[in-house]
């Protein structure tokens, strides 16, 4: 999850506000995540409780319901995938994914 911290100094009081914004995966990130997990379209569909055609449509860049995209992303995150925004870890880095370290 991506976040922004806002600091306001109000005299003797320091106020910090944190805004969390979910990262919505791209079609490329979805394909990368499936490959990293060695999952088929059907395995992702099962894990996210969506149809196989929905997975295919998202990966082709076609429109899918937001709830379906969120379910697929949640299933991939539960399996250990972390989504990376462009520039998140290096100024010239593009979007990507990585796998969390095993506990």
pLDDT digits (tens, 9 = 90+) for 27-86: 999 999 999 999 999 999 999 999 999 999 999 999 899 899 999 999 999 999 998 877
Average pLDDT score over residue span 7-25: 71
3-state helix vs strand vs coil in the chain, percent to 5: 40, 25, 35
Q: Is 48 a member of any domain?
A: yes
For residue 29, give the CATH number of its domain. 1.10.260.40
Q: pTM higher than 0.85 for the full model?
A: no
- CA-based nearest residue to 52, from 61, 63, 62, 40: 40
User: Structural domain tally of the chain?
Assistant: 1
Q: Is 38 a member of any domain?
A: yes
**What dihedral angle (degrees, nearest 10) is formed by the CA atoms of 28, 30, 32, 35?**
-140
pLDDT at 17: 67
What is the pLDDT confidence band of residue 9, given thresholds at 50, 70 and 90? confident
**Please, which residues have CB within 8 angstroms of residue 12's CB and are 6 or more apart in sequence?**
none
Main-chain dihedrals φ then ψ at residue 80, nearest 5 degrees: 110, 10
**Which is higher by pLDDT, 76 or 14?**
76
Collapse the DSSP code of 76 into the 3-class scheme (helix H, G, I; strand E, B; otherwise coil) and give the result. Answer: helix
Domain range for residue 38?
25-99
């Amino acid at each position: 999850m991506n976040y922004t911290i806002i600091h306001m100094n109000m005299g003797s009081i320091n106020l910090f506000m944190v805004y969390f914004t979910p990262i919505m995966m791209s079609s490329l990130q979805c394909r990368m995540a499936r490959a990293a997990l060695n999952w088929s379209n059907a395995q992702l569909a099962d894990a996210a409780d969506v149809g196989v055609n929905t997975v295919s449509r998202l990966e082709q860049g076609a429109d899918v319901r937001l709830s379906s995209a969120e379910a697929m992303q949640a299933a991939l995150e539960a399996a250990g995938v972390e989504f990376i925004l462009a520039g998140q870890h290096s100024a010239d880095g593009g979007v990507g994914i990585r796998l969390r370290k095993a506990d």
